[in-house]
Structures are given as structure tokens and as C-alpha cells.
Structure 1
Amino acid sequence: MTEIEQLLARVEGKARDTLPWGRTSLPVPVEPATVTHAESALGFPLPPLLAQLYMRIGDGGFGPEYGLLPLLDSPPADEPAAVVQYLANRESVRKDPEWPWPEGVLPISHWGCGMYACVDCLDPHTPVLLFEPNADDAGHAWFVDAPGLTAWLHAWIEGTGWYEESNEGLDLAPWPGFRIRTAPAPAT
């Protein structure tokens, strides 16, 4: 069994044992066609591990705190789907250029108070970023939650994430890629 297969098995086990926020069961996994449709809407591919989470474990509803967002559909009316939230965040740049949303940074989990865990889908290392909009400005609202999606999932499984009570006060490093990824394109 490969390392990714082992991780997926551990995630599935934890997901079935710890349903977040009143869920009685995991949503059914998505079909590969749903992932293809999501990627088409986004304009970039999902990282393979993220796609596997949705296709093998369930369409959201598992993971830290509120769990992963659904990929495309949004069964609970108050829970935005990851793709819908990303597209809305990218569109909001036109309305408020002081708070740009970086291209390729897909929100995957809502923390409440406008905070999101996001995967940088354009970085091959797939860092998980924390968007904390309660900062003074957008440049100070982005932090590196984990160096990769694999590490983020391990932190959830092992109870070592910053959000755990035992890790209160753990400081996250600012995301150095924010200014680069949100800089306006040079005029041609």
C-alpha cells in the first residue's frame, strides 16, 4: 500500500469516527465527472490528493472543525461549495481591489468568522493556507497552515493542528507568496 493509500485510509477512518457539526453521515463521494466539471469551472486542476478525498471519502463534511466544503453542490443552504466560494472570492476583487483573492487558492474548509483553510492548487507542494480576514489588510490575512495537503491531513488525524486546544497560541507564518500572486499583471 502506498503512502497516499495509507493516508486516505486513515482519513476515511477518522472521517467516519468524527462527523463534524451535527452530521449523521458522510456525504457520498463525487464522480470523476464532477471533479472534471469543477476543474473546468476553476480553470486549473485540483491537486490529485484533494481530488481523491472528494472521490473516495465524500463530498466534504469531514476534516478539521466544520470539515471540507462540498466541491460543487451545496446541500446545506448555509454551506458554500468550494468552487462557488472560489469564484465569488475571485470576482470580489473587482469590487474591492484592496482585498484580492489569489488565483489558484481554493477554499476547502470554513473556520467561521470569514476564515478559510485553502489549498494553493498552483503550487506543486499544495500548501494549505489560512485566510484570516480579520486582519488590518489583505497582505496580513494569509498564513501558511501546513506546507502541504498531506501534512495538513496528518495534523488533523494526529490532533496537532493550530486549532487544537493544546496548541493554543501557536503562531502561523505569513504566506510569502501573497504579494507575488496578487500583483497586477504588467502592462503590455
Structure 2
Amino acid sequence: MTDYGPLLARIAARAAEDDPMLPLDARPAPLSAADLDRAERELGFPLHPLLAAVYGTIANGGFGPDYQLLSLVSGPTGEQAVDVYKTKRHDAAGTAWAWPEAVLPILNWGCAMYACVDCRTDEGTVLLFEPNPGVPEMAWYVDAPSLESWFEGYVNRTGWWDRLEGGEDPDMPPWPDFNARR
């Protein structure tokens, strides 16, 4: 089992520097083990261990890159990750836009774009859902090969969102498993 303690401490320190979208008195507390278990039951799959540790030790969303992490369940952010996942799985079922199984949206970038964690991979591959080209096969990209590297990008201010602000083109490869996971 991976020891995420040092990374969690760095994420928490970086989160304290964020300009919160939520007022300080509305910042969510970490989730309890019971809340994490309930979320996994509702989803029908286990969270990636690092994602569970982030929600269970730092906060139930409200920090992170740009628009900040969604609350997992019953939190103060405008959307909750579990609800977004269930809605997307239901609403797009049987269509070319069918939402992939066990791909949990964790951050809404705006314009219908989401950062998502593939909870079926050991690494917790982070995917970018970008539907704006209008073609389902061109809507999924590998944002980061692992959730750990994605959070490292947040902590170190080297994520694609930071590089984009510096004028760099965030060249992301397409996600090859999209069709197999619908």
C-alpha cells in the first residue's frame, strides 16, 4: 500500500493558499469513513485510494486547481461528484456519449469539461472530458497518467492549467480506452 502522507500534507498546504470559491466559513470538512463508504456504495465501485484519502483527510472539495474539486457527497460545492457521475451514466446510456464506467468527475472546468479519475486503474489515471468538438471519440484525453502526478501538478503549479496560462499548449493524448469502457 502506498503511503500518501507526505503528498497529502503538501496538498493540504497548497490548498490553504487557494483563493477559495467558497467563503471560509463554508469550506467543507473532510468526509468521515461512513460518508466515504456511502459514496462508494452509491457509485458501485471503490474510489482510488489517493482520492479517498484526499476527501477523507483534507476536505470534501472546495480546493484545488481553477474551479476547485467538487464535493464528493452532500457538500457545499455547486455539484457533487457522485451525483454528476450517476446523472451522466444515466442520461447518456445507450448513446455515443455514454459515460464510461468508474470514471468519476472530480472537477468542473466549465464549458461542460470535467477532470475525471479512472477509478478502475491502479494509477487513478486522470482524464479530461472535453465534449466541445462535438464528436464523442474526440472528447476524452489523458490529462495525467496518475492521480498522484495530477496532484503533484497542482501542488507544484505545473499542471496543464498552469502551463496554459503561461501560453504553453497542453498537448494531451486521446484516451484509448473510451470505446471499451462505455
Rounded Cα–Cα distance in structure 2 between residues aligned with 1:155 and 1:167: 16
Quick one: percent identity of the two aligned structures?
A: 46
Match runs of 1:42-121 below 5 Å: 42-76=43-77, 79-94=78-93, 97-121=95-119
Match runs of 1:21-32 below 5 Å: 21-24=21-24, 26-32=27-33
Let me know the Cα RMSD of the aligned residues.
1.5
Rounded Cα–Cα distance in structure 2 between residues aligned with 1:33 and 1:167: 43
Q: Check the 8 A contact 2:60/2:75 in 1, yes or no.
A: no
Residue 186 of structure 1 corresponds to none
Q: Check the 8 A contact 1:120/1:127 in 2, yes or no.
A: yes
Match runs of 1:117-132 below 5 Å: 117-132=115-130
Rounded Cα–Cα distance in structure 2 between residues aligned with 1:81 and 1:38: 10
Structure 2 residue 177 is matched with structure 1 residue 174: no
Letter in 2 for 1:126: G
Residue 6 of structure 2 corresponds to 6
Q: Check the 8 A contact 1:110/1:117 in 2, yes or no.
A: yes
Give the count of matched residue pairs. Answer: 178
Residue 17 of structure 2 corresponds to 17
Runs of 5+ consecutive residues of structure 1 not aligned to the other structure: 183-188
Q: Deviations over 1:137-177 (max 9, x none)?
A: 11100000000000000001111111111253121110011
Runs of 5+ consecutive residues of structure 2 not aligned to the other structure: none
Rounded Cα–Cα distance in structure 1 between residues aligned with 2:133 and 2:156: 29
Q: Deviations over 1:10-68 (max 9, x none)?
A: 00000011133354263111100000000000000001110110110000011111111
Q: Check the 8 A contact 1:116/1:131 in 2, yes or no.
A: yes
| TM-score of the aligned structures, taking structure 2 as reference length | 0.92
Residue aligned with 1:91, SS: helix
Q: Check the 8 A contact 1:47/1:126 in 2, yes or no.
A: yes
| TM-score of the aligned structures, taking structure 1 as reference length | 0.89
Q: CA offset at residue 74 of structure 1?
A: 3.8
Letter in 1 for 2:86: L
